[in-house]
Chains A and B, each alone.
Chain A
Amino acid sequence: MSITVNHISKSYKNVKALEDISFQVKEGELFGLIGPDGAGKTTLFRILTTLLIANEGSATVADFDVVADYKKIRNNVGYMPGKFSLYQDLTIEENLNFFATIFGTTIEENYDLIKDIYVQIECFKDRRAGKLSGGMKQKLALCCALIHKPKVLFLDEPTTGVDPVSRKEFWDMLKRLQQKGITILVSTPYMDEAALCDRIALIQNGKILQIDTPQAIVKHYPKKIYNVRASNTYQLINALNDYEYNHSVYPFGEFVHYTDSRKDFNPKDLIDYLESKDLSHIEIGKTEPTIEDTFMELAK
């Protein structure tokens, strides 16, 4: 196992940040921690990268204990925090050289690992990190986290606030790194990115809601979901929220995802009800659940 987490709990004063968290990440796996702001993701990252000590429980990374062997872990992991933490007044090249030197290596020695990513920012190598765009900062931070050829890579919300195109490029890079044998633990609030991981843990308020492959997680969704659409979305949402038989009502792109509390639900009843609420152009059709549907059902 590349990462093992056993019954980890951590509190700050009265706030329970993590409550009895356990999971394992296999070698070479791309494992996602999926949850919103405040779920406890960053606290867990800080414990696993030896920057914070848990109140209870134990954990190992690359077979080293996070408390007893913390120095060895630091040599064997790469960590990209959610907040940009490189030196703003050093250039791209200086930052990279700095981190290589700290770990007793050189850019040349592990260039192979970062080449794909570094070539995209190399033409700006004399520019100070503080003057880079968000996307370039992110690529530089990833290079710096990789330059000592870590066994395990920790990425804390690398794509938050990043546009969909850059997000897609970033995930393509992660897939290529995974093929080079690096174990990756990545956190994200974007539920669509969950589908790109081998396995995921859904996390909220310091607790793990579920752990499985993305495919299995959506398969366990307990209800039938219907796509509903009508002439006026706002009125539709209000009408569905007022409907006595609703189980859940969530806007979902061009549709509203609706589940019913009855076992023998007939969509025709819902159409009649919506028509009685003066809605027109009503469409109802079955649809497949997504990770986000599952998350909301579990978090309800």
Chain B
Amino acid sequence: MNKNNVIEAQNLTKMFGDFTAVDAITFDVKKGEIFGFLGANGAGKTTAMKMLIGISKPTSGAAKVAGFDVFTNTEDIKKNIGYMSQKFALYGDLTVKENITFFGGIYGLSRKSIKEKSAVLIEELGLEKVASKLVGSLPLGWKQKLSFSVSLLHDPKIVFLDEPTGGVDPITRRQFWEMIYKAAHQGTTVFVTTHYMDEAEYCDRVSIMVNGKIEALDTPKKLKEQFQVDNMNDVFLKLARR
């Protein structure tokens, strides 16, 4: 594995019966990169992501994530990645602090480290006033920012974000992206899916999946040149229903 790559996938394939959900995708993601993983509903994004985070065994092909093999080393993958699902996955009936402590514990952080990280995280997110409130009572945008921070607690090499900003208000959505930029700036690789095409423009590189295959992969600028359009929305419209 090239030491500058955090993900390497070759002909990665997943079949359900005779249906090919992910069809021989090949791509690399570089260290510190913000990688946008786009595609229509049903194109195979979630299935591909499940293989990369070690919870679904590929049918064929090969892939390494954070240096570990997706067939044989899935437990090591899970320790070295962060994951934030599109469905809110913190405990609604635990407080902000309790959630941080719980997930810190799951990832094997020491009590001391959890305490320090909680304080920093709560301050950075401006959650001081609600730190002892139940997470279920917070607005969606706050929950999503908290989820993202929790997924970074154990300093993963790469974090997977599955539609993190769906339904979030426009200001919070931008604050969320500033957090993504910051994480990437500090060396964490960010692998993100979204249906907001303006967010695709924020990525360093973007791949677009159509019917299980990666049909385009480049910087947003080069993709727009290649398809001779002004914005990523039009790139998407041109590709996704060919």
A interface residue numbers (CB < 8 A to B): 35-39, 133-135, 157, 160-168, 189-192, 204, 233-234, 237, 250-254, 292, 295-296, 299-300
CB-based contact A166/B184 at 8 Å: no
CB-based contact A254/B201 at 8 Å: yes
CB-based contact B237/A165 at 8 Å: yes
Provide the bound-state CA to CA distance between A292 and B197, in Å.
Answer: 14
Report the nearest A residue to B204, measured CB to CB.
Answer: A233
Chain B residues with Cβ under 8 A from A250's Cβ? 170-171, 174
Partner of A164, one of B168, B181, B182, B233: B233
- Considering the complex of A and B, which 8 residue pairs feature the smallest CB-CB distances, nearest first? A36-B169, A253-B201, A234-B181, A37-B167, A163-B40, A253-B198, A37-B140, A165-B240
Report the nearest A residue to B241, measured CB to CB.
Answer: A165
Cβ of B136 < 8 Å from any Cβ of A?
Answer: no
Chain A residues with Cβ under 8 A from B169's Cβ? 35-37, 39, 189, 204, 299
Closest chain-B Cβ to A86's Cβ sits at a distance in Å of: 18
Cβ of B42 < 8 Å from any Cβ of A?
Answer: yes
- 8 further A-B contacts with Cβ under 8 Å, apart from A161-B163, A253-B232, A254-B221, are A36-B140, A37-B169, A157-B167, A161-B167, A161-B195, A233-B181, A250-B174, A253-B201
Report the nearest A residue to B210, measured CB to CB.
Answer: A165
Contact A134-B163, Cβ < 8 Å, known A164-B237, A168-B237, A251-B202: no
Provide the bound-state CA to CA distance between A170 and B181, in Å.
Answer: 33
Chain A residues with Cβ under 8 A from B17's Cβ? none
Chain A residues with Cβ under 8 A from B201's Cβ? 253-254
Chain A residues with Cβ under 8 A from B50's Cβ? none
Interface of A is mostly: mixed
Closest chain-B Cβ to A170's Cβ sits at a distance in Å of: 12
CB-based contact A135/B197 at 8 Å: no
Chain A residues with Cβ under 8 A from B221's Cβ? 254
Closest chain-A Cβ to B15's Cβ sits at a distance in Å of: 18
Instruction: Compute the total of residue contacts between A and B using a CB distance below 8 Å.
Output: 97
Cβ of B222 < 8 Å from any Cβ of A?
Answer: no
CB-based contact B39/A163 at 8 Å: yes
Chain A residues with Cβ under 8 A from B170's Cβ? 36, 191, 250, 292, 295-296, 299
Contact A134-B41, Cβ < 8 Å, known A161-B86, A253-B232, A295-B170: yes
Chain B residues with Cβ under 8 A from A37's Cβ? 139-141, 167-169
Provide the bound-state CA to CA distance between A134 and B141, in Å.
Answer: 24
Closest chain-A Cβ to B29's Cβ sits at a distance in Å of: 18
B interface residue numbers (CB < 8 A to A): 39-43, 86, 139-141, 163, 166-172, 174, 177-178, 181-182, 184-185, 195-198, 201-202, 220-221, 231-233, 236-237, 240-241
CB-based contact A251/B40 at 8 Å: no
CB-based contact A234/B41 at 8 Å: no
CB-based contact A160/B166 at 8 Å: yes
CB-based contact A252/B171 at 8 Å: no
CB-based contact A133/B166 at 8 Å: no
CB-based contact A189/B220 at 8 Å: no
CB-based contact B139/A251 at 8 Å: no
Contact A296-B171, Cβ < 8 Å, known A233-B202, A253-B201: yes
Report the nearest B residue to A254, measured CB to CB.
Answer: B201
Closest chain-A Cβ to B36's Cβ sits at a distance in Å of: 12
Contact A133-B41, Cβ < 8 Å, known A250-B174, A295-B170: yes
Chain A residues with Cβ under 8 A from B41's Cβ? 133-135, 161-163, 166
CB-based contact B236/A165 at 8 Å: yes
Provide the bound-state CA to CA distance between A139 and B141, in Å.
Answer: 29
Provide the bound-state CA to CA distance between A163 and B170, in Å.
Answer: 18
Contact A237-B178, Cβ < 8 Å, known A164-B237, A165-B40: yes
Partner of B141, one of A36, A191, A251, A254: A36
